[in-house]
Each structure stands twice: as C-alpha cells, then as structure tokens.
Amino acid sequence: MKLTLVTSNAHKAEEVAAFFGGMLEVEHIAMEIPEHRSDDVRTIARGKARFAFEHLKTPVIVDDTGLSIDALNGFPGPYAAYVLHTIGNEGILKLMERAEDRRAHFTTAIAFADGDGERVFQGTLHGRIAPNPRGRGGFGYDPIFEWEGRTLAELRLEEKSRISHRAKALRYFREWFVKEHRMEDAQDTNG
C-alpha cells in the first residue's frame, strides 16, 4: 500500500516510512495548498489533507505543528514557523521576560484523507519556556522549550523522537491505520 505525504521536506517521508517499518510505501510530494486560516492545527491539517486528496486522488497525510504559550494567549499558535523566522527565539524570550507562568505546549496534527473522508490524529507535548536557550541539538524552538528540566535541544535524538508531539501523533495514526487497513491480516495472507 502506498501513502503520499504532502510536504516540502523529503526527510519527513523517510521518517514516516521508517515509523511503519516497511509495512507501507511512503512517497512525498510538495504542493502548495490553500488553507483555512485557523488558530487550530487540527482544522488546518484536515483542510489541507482534503484538498490534497481531491487533487491527487490517492491516500495522503499532511501534518501541521503549532506552539502555544499560555502567558501569551496561545501565541505563536499555528504561525510558529513564521514567527520563528521573523522574531525568533530571541523575540519569544523577550516577550516572556518577567512572565511567571512559563507553561507551553507543542501540538502536531496529522491528517489522513482518502475516498472515505478524513481522520485527524493529534500529539501534544507539555513543557515550559526556558529563561535562556540551552543545548545544541534539535532545531526551531527546541533550545527554549523545556521538558522535564531539559530543553528539547539537550535531549538525544532517540529520546526526543520517543516523547515528541510529532511522534505521538504518528503513533496514533499508525495504530488506527494498521487496524483500519487490517495490515496484520494482509501480512499473514501474503506471508
């Protein structure tokens, strides 16, 4: 069975394929997709997946990740990527100066679409905004996002891949997908 991941990042397709341990062929395609401007990554991912399926006529997944900071009323929300390349982590830390409530969470929504409709799977990681950037790993907001005392940039990659919002969403998707498509049975039959 083949699944198409709509993304401009080829690495993500390899990651998903690895996640399914070879059960599934995953190709990626870059595609500009109009989206509902929404404060909710679930809505954004679902709309994109529907649009991509309607154009490609093949089962697709699309993901979307947001960062929500409690003290900033959810900012940067679904605009995490835009905010990162304009004001960056430095800007976030400036906004959080003197903020006592430092709670934040990442959310990844993975939306699957095929001829039967759409399904969305969501993974969340709760943490805190660090007072200063720390660590050399990861990318994006990782150096300022603390999880259990360390920033994501201080975690080993395996550890981050185990606990991350994206890994959780992928796990929920895989569980459902395997059941829905009776992939164990298919493997028995073919084996």
Q: Which residues sit at the interface with a copy of itself, rule CB under 8 A?
A: 32-37, 39, 47, 51, 72-77, 79, 82-83, 85-87, 91, 94-95, 97
What Cα–Cα distance (Å) separates residue 76 from each residue in 53, 72, 190? Answer: 28, 8, 47
Is 114 one of the annotated active-site residues of the chain?
A: no
Instruction: Count other C-beta atoms under 10 Å from residue 13's C-beta.
Output: 19
* Interatomic CA distance for residues 80 and 6, integer angstroms: 19
Nearer to a copy of itself, 78 or 160 (CB): 78
Cis peptide before 76 (omega within 30 of 0): yes
Shortest spacing between CB 78 and a copy of itself, in angstroms:
9
Look-up: residue for tokens 């397709």? 13
Q: Which candidate in 39, 40, 63, 64 is catalytic?
A: 64
Look up residue 31 and give its two tokens: 């595609």
* Cβ contact 147:102 at 8 Å: no
* Interatomic CA distance for residues 120 and 139, integer angstroms: 25
Q: Which residues are known catalytic residues? A: 64
